[in-house]
Chains A and B, each alone.
Chain A
């Protein structure tokens, strides 16, 4: 839990996603839906991405954000949500892993 009782509007991914939407941007939202072992960000954490690859928030503390952003730009185009899985034991499926040894599942969907 944070020290503030109010939302940090300048850094809150869901607030930023709403602002982007109002600006007419296409947006994808990535959400950590499952973690195993030592994972840097808890279930429910968000990364929000626009069609140009700009992003806010985090799903892993930096390990897999690059791959999520790439996928998200595709998903903005297709509109089809996807479930991504990352982990050290999964390097054949994904060329990125979590150095902490954990595994995470990230759901990526288009806004609207």
Chain B
């Protein structure tokens, strides 16, 4: 392995950015490909697939055999709001493999008693997200219903290109939210990425059912990353 490739790979992994180490198993030469880098032909198609699935494996291309070792950051879910939905969502997300953090400055809501074994921040999103910025391997669900708490986090999620952004509230509530986000400087295209009403439409009624709908929509968004942009049908 090329020492420079190893250093580059570790730097990408530390920064929570996806990278693939491509090794020619014939001559041992290797290189790092970052998400979004253009690679032509069959090798490029295999690399794009590995970025989506996160699965490593060998591929035959250009008469050679390449090994693609896909290093994807651990996806995670940040929830704004220590509410009833979040109480159900926390254990579900953990089981599904999406570590979850909850942010809510209202100390009456964000109590360890209500959220055992959960990374819980009884602080404003501004303060937490400054320490632990959002990124494209983070999903954000805003469920407080309170613009003072939700709006900043939603704008930050749009700017960080979070792979999933959902916001609780009716269409009417969301229309008002769109106006506020425009005023904060978000573009209409950015705002169109927000899932509102939140969650896959499974007819969810109870807080726990809404949690299922949010988690399902998060997984769908993660597993179909990049499909829209490239116009490819899986």
A residues with a Cβ closer than 8 A to B are 1-5, 7, 14-15, 17-18, 21, 29, 31, 33-34, 42-44, 81, 83, 107, 109-112
**A18→B69 contact, CB < 8 A:** no
Determine the residue in chain B with the shortest Cβ distance to A9.
B14
Residues of B within 8 A of A3 (CB): 94, 99
Could you list 9 A-B pairs, sorted by A, with CB under 8 Å? A1-B74, A2-B74, A3-B99, A4-B99, A14-B13, A33-B57, A107-B25, A112-B1, A112-B2
Residues of A within 8 A of B7 (CB): 18
**A7→B14 contact, CB < 8 A:** yes
Determine the residue in chain A with the shortest Cβ distance to B9.
A14
Interface centre among A5, A17, A31, A81 (most CB of B within 10 A): A5
Binary per-residue interface labels of chain B (26-66) against chain A in the complex, 1 for a CB within 8 Å, 0 otherwise: 00100000000000000000000000000111100000000
**B99→A29 contact, CB < 8 A:** no
Give B144 Cβ to nearest chain A Cβ, in Å: 23
Residues of B within 8 A of A31 (CB): 23, 67, 69
A43-B56, A43-B57, A112-B3 known; A14 vs B74 contact (CB < 8 Å): no
Binary per-residue interface labels of chain B (1-28) against chain A in the complex, 1 for a CB within 8 Å, 0 otherwise: 1110011011001101000000101001
B residues with a Cβ closer than 8 A to A are 1-3, 6-7, 9-10, 13-14, 16, 23, 25, 28, 55-58, 67, 69-70, 73-76, 94, 97, 99
**A7→B67 contact, CB < 8 A:** no
Residues of B within 8 A of A2 (CB): 74
Interface centre among B1, B16, B67, B97 (most CB of A within 10 A): B1
A14-B9, A112-B2 known; A107 vs B14 contact (CB < 8 Å): no
**A14→B55 contact, CB < 8 A:** no
Q: How far is the CA of A88 from the CA of B183 in the complex (A)?
A: 65
